[in-house]
Amino acid sequence: MARLHLPLYVTLIVAVILVICLADTRIKINYPSHWYQSRTDFGFPFHFKSFYMPCFNDWKTSSPTLKSWQYLSTANYEIPRYVKEGHWIPNSFKSYCVPEAGSKTYADLIWAFTNEDYSKDTQDSIRQQFTLTGKYYDQGYFTILYFLLNVCQCLRKRYTDRHCPNPCWRPNVCTGIPYSTGVCHVIRNTEMRTQIHHRLRSKLRDIYELDYQCECESGYQFNRTQRQCVRRAIECHTGDCYNGGICEVLHVYNKASRDMSYKCHCPPAWQGPMCEVSSIVWCYVCHIWLNRS
């Protein structure tokens, strides 16, 4: 499939000028008009030139058939319905979507992804499974391209705040949890990578290590398994109580002091919050001995 290859310095200039994420969080893309063969094969019309796609941090579509919060149990961010367990991800991710491939433009990525899908088995083709027309110039196919292009830039470590999936973007992710302050933090959870299909794991790499953690009120901590703020587990430790005192953990609602999460039961001779004060009143008796001769 013929393409006209531009000199490297021209490609770099095009990448800088045309392949940018604009201030309004849109990706501007220019598909060269002289790529005649690919336009014919892919069915791209001539007016398919300069156009815009959304960055992940402005990822919005009203169609429930093109996105889902739940399709991947490990993904807490909005993704196209296409990206689910076992589905095909372009092999070109391994060569195009690395920091060293920064000179490749969005148009190069579209050509690589579309050409790979065009050349493969029709039954496993994106356009056959997820478009209304069975063609590449289809809103369903371009919605999937939104995802692939953003993830590719994320893997390149470019504008990660705009292109990388963000678990905290999901509506009400922490605000609807009891005892949560409503503040969400993005964290890395390496265990999540082992839960996804190897076809996704080998190409998307650390994208699916992204997880979230809610900030909880005092006395509570976030349980990632339950996705809830639970009472903080408090244990007594050796040395919490002095002089043989016995430690008892207090429930959050039963604290005698905001600074004390436990109570010391002191032996008879001691008192105080930590059994540090002696309760014995020492009596000193002075005896005068008379030396009687």
Judge if 252 and 157 occupy the same domain: no
Which pLDDT value is given to residue 215?
Answer: 94
Which pLDDT value is given to residue 179?
Answer: 94
Which pLDDT value is given to residue 193?
Answer: 65
Determine whether 226 is exposed, middle or buried from the number of CB atoms within 10 Å of its CB (0-12, 13-18, 19+).
exposed
**What does the block give as tokens for 117?**
């899908």
**What does the block give as tokens for 279?**
């309760």
Average pLDDT, whole number, for the chain? 73
Which pLDDT value is given to residue 253?
Answer: 45
| 201 lies in some domain | yes
Domain stop point among 216, 233, 250: 233
CB burial of 169-203 (b: ≥16 within 10 Å; e: otherwise) equals beeebbeebebbeeebebeebeebbeebeeebbeb
Tens digit of each residue's pLDDT (9 = 90 or more) over 30-75:
899 899 999 999 999 888 888 888 777 765 555 554 454 434 444 4
- Give just the sign of the alpha carbon dihedral 125, 128, 129, 131: positive
| Contact present, 206 and 193 (Cβ < 8 Å) | yes
| Contact present, 245 and 268 (Cβ < 8 Å) | no
- Pairwise CA distance, residues 196 & 72, whole Å: 8
Average pLDDT of the residues in 17-22: 43
**What does the block give as tokens for 258?**
């905001």
Judge if 109 and 41 occupy the same domain: yes
Which pLDDT value is given to residue 195?
Answer: 63
Which pLDDT value is given to residue 71?
Answer: 40
Cα dihedral 189/194/199/201 (nearest 10): 30
- Pairwise CA distance, residues 61 & 52, whole Å: 14
The contacts of residue 62 (CB under 8 Å, 6+ apart) are none
| Contact present, 67 and 61 (Cβ < 8 Å) | yes
Which pLDDT value is given to residue 276?
Answer: 84
Q: Which amino acid is at 203?
A: K
| 108 lies in some domain | yes
Domains of the chain: total: 3
Among 115-119, 187-191, 269-273, 282-286, which stretch is predicted with the lowest mean pLDDT? Answer: 282-286
Full domain range(s) for residue 270 = 234-293
| 116 lies in some domain | yes
Which pLDDT value is given to residue 184?
Answer: 92
Alpha helices (runs of H) in the chain, residue ranges in sequence order:
8-18, 36-42, 93-96, 106-119, 126-130, 139-155, 160-163, 198-204
CATH value at residue 289? 2.10.25.10
Average pLDDT of the residues in 122-129: 76
Tens digit of each residue's pLDDT (9 = 90 or more) over 241-253:
888 888 887 765 4
Whether the pLDDT of residue 18 is over 50: the answer is: no
Which pLDDT value is given to residue 39?
Answer: 92
Judge if 31 and 125 occupy the same domain: yes
| 3 lies in some domain | no
- Supply the angle between the helices 139-155 and 106-119 in degrees, to the nearest 10: 120
Average pLDDT of the residues in 181-192: 83
Judge if 17 and 121 occupy the same domain: yes
Nearest to 8 by CA among 107, 115, 105: 105
Tens digit of each residue's pLDDT (9 = 90 or more) over 68-122:
443 444 444 445 545 555 566 788 888 888 889 888 888 999 999 999 889 877 7
Which pLDDT value is given to residue 198?
Answer: 65
Judge if 132 and 147 occupy the same domain: yes
The 3-state secondary structure of 70-139 reads CCCCCCCCCEECCCCCCCCCCCCHHHHCCHHHCCCCHHHHHHHHHHHHHHCCHHHCHHHHHCCCCCCCCH
In eight-state DSSP terms, residue 186 is E
Whether the pLDDT of residue 27 is over 70: the answer is: yes
